[in-house]
Amino acid sequence: MKKIKYTGLLLFIPLMYACKSHPPIATNEGGADTIPVQVIQLKQQGSSAPMAVSGQFTTDDEVMLSFKIGGIISSLNVKEGDAVKRGQLLATLNPTEINAQVQQASLATEKAQRDYERAQNLYKDSVATLEQLQNSKTALLLAQQQLKTATFNRQYSEIRAPKDGYILHKLANVGQQVTAGSAVLQTNGAEAGKWMLRVGISDSEWAVLQLNDKATIQTTAMPGQELQGTVSRKSEGVDASTGTFSADITITGKKPQAVAAGMFGKATIIPARPTDTGNATWQIPYDALLDGDGNSGYVFVTDDNKTAHKVRVTVAGIDKNTVTISSGLADAKSLIISGSAYLTDNSAITVKSPKTAAR
């Protein structure tokens, strides 16, 4: 009985190997086995490669709101995400100190007014000199201006919404001591401002980038969808906090509901200006790239249409059907675009149905 079982197992093993998938095999004139592939000729491009950038969504009408004077926050009437109306009271300082300053300025003005009137009477009686009269008038004018300043500062010891919009960030809390001009709230307009993706760019990208360059934008909040945009601004200096330049990509058309301020997004910019550095790029079919990992991957190339070579390449950008390669193909003549899955380095190949050159 055991012999029968072993015999059945031995018969099953060859059957298993017979069912296993094998790569397509061709035989060349010398009788050696080769793998059939399709290739395209490689041609360098002198134009700029697409730029892959990332950043956060924002609007062109964001406002950082602050108090005109320093003090202790006594009330914050909004939370992050709240909708606000123009003129709505958002925050106030403790009024004790500023009210005292206004009162002091008011009393000083009253005293200066009395002194000036007294000086006028004494001057008429030839008791006070003209200089004393002029000095009292100057003191009155100074006191009046100090009162005006104190009253103005009291007016800005509260924060009101400059326009209809939303509270993006609350940067302080009730009871906190703030200095004059320090941001307390950040707001943006309600559907009034243009939405954009603010991205960081390197110095070499900054040199190539131009206003009105086209871009496509993606965000995880809208999987499988792309937003169209144009470059509307690029900074004229390096951001001290990030060490990079920045650029704004304004979304074309109405803002999608799924986009919110501060949300992360990615974009691919197509520069209109050619590079001045002489760096060449190659556009290859998406399917030709293997083992993609970040900005690198592998492709198979051939110089003699007989042997395949696996080379590492640097990915500069990815479109729907093509990949932009910035390095790794300088010494290659032809790119293998079909049959790569069955190849290893130095595999023997047979070229079938050559296609047009890659551009």
Element (H, E) at 197: strand 195-201
> What is the pLDDT at residue 121?
93
Using DSSP, state whether 130 is helix, strand or coil. helix
Decide yes or no: CATH 2.40.420.20 for domain 25-45+280-351: yes
> What is the pLDDT at residue 17?
38
Q: What is the tens place of the pLDDT at every residue in 196-206?
A: 999 999 887 88
The residue type found at 13 is: I
Q: What's the pLDDT band for 208 if we cut at 50, 70, 90? A: confident
Reading the block at residue 31, the tokens are: 């009788």
Which is nearest to 119 in space by CA: 107, 130, 106, 105?
A: 130
Does 314 have pLDDT greater than 50? yes
Strands 349-351, 33-41: pairing is: parallel
Question: What pTM, to 2 d.p., does this model score?
Answer: 0.52
Reading the block at residue 137, the tokens are: 């008038």
Which CATH number, 1.10.150.120, 3.40.50.1820, 2.60.40.10, 2.40.50.100, labels domain 63-95+157-189? 2.40.50.100
Rounded average pLDDT over 56-71: 89
User: How do the domains of the chain map onto residue ranges?
Assistant: 25-45+280-351, 51-60+194-270, 63-95+157-189, 96-155
CATH code that applies to domain 51-60+194-270? 2.40.30.170
Q: What's the pLDDT band for 6 if we cut at 50, 70, 90? A: very low
In percent, how much of the chain has pLDDT > 70?
84
The residue type found at 28 is: N
> What is the pLDDT at residue 28?
54
> What is the pLDDT at residue 46?
56
Mean pLDDT of the chain: 83
Which CATH number, 1.10.357.10, 3.40.50.620, 3.40.470.10, 1.10.287.470, labels domain 96-155? 1.10.287.470
Rounded average pLDDT over 259-270: 88
Angle between helices 130-155 and 96-124 in degrees, nearest 10 = 160
